[in-house]
Amino acid sequence: MHTQPNELPQLSPQDVTMHSKIIHQNQWDGERSVIVTCSFTPGSVSLTAYRLTPSGYEWGRNNTDKGNNPKGYLPSHYEKVQMLLSDRFLGYFMVPSSAVWNYNFMGVRHDSNMQYDVCLAAPKEFYHEDHRPLHFHNFNVFEDPLGVTTADREDVFMAT
């Protein structure tokens, strides 16, 4: 599942590339593997499921261009598939051991070659402060206009 801040009209080339490499590395059946995008739109959440076509699988497995408009990317590399949501399916979450899973606010830290361990756990909420360290640093700077953090000091000479 890939989370994104808004709904895109197509599956991104980065998703095609990453999903095809995951299928290849784990020897999954491409006909039975899907990638789900979870888009956080104003007032709602939108889920869309995609399956890679054979040409999309081959293109993504061989793609090395990490840009936004890689050569050879085509809308025929994927197709939307039906998704059924039900409360009858049981499952679990595998989250990184560091507990940080949302790189939406710190994309420069995400690397497709990064190493990580996973564990069974409940994922932290989307806007958790661990996913937005720069935002929380900026909040602290706003509180002190000089940008200097000072410690609270007790005044032992102050009359009470």
What would the two tokens of residue 55 be? 């040409």
- Which pLDDT tens digits describe the chain residue by residue (160 residues)? 888 888 889 999 999 999 999 999 988 898 889 999 989 877 888 999 999 999 999 999 999 998 888 999 999 999 999 998 887 766 677 777 877 776 665 656 667 677 878 788 777 877 777 767 666 666 555 666 555 555 555 666 666 5
Give the separation between CA 68 and CA 65, rounded to whole angstroms. 9
Burial class (CB in 10 A: 0-12, 13-18, 19+), 59: buried
Distance separating the N- and C-terminal Cα atoms of the chain: 59
Q: Who contacts 87 (Cβ-Cβ below 8 Å, separation ≥6)? A: none
Q: Which domains does the chain have, with CATH numbers?
A: 1-87 (3.40.140.10), 91-145 (no CATH)
What global pTM score does this model have?
0.60
Other Cβ atoms less than 10 A from the Cβ of 111: the count is: 9
Q: What are phi and psi of 18, to 5 degrees?
A: -65, -45
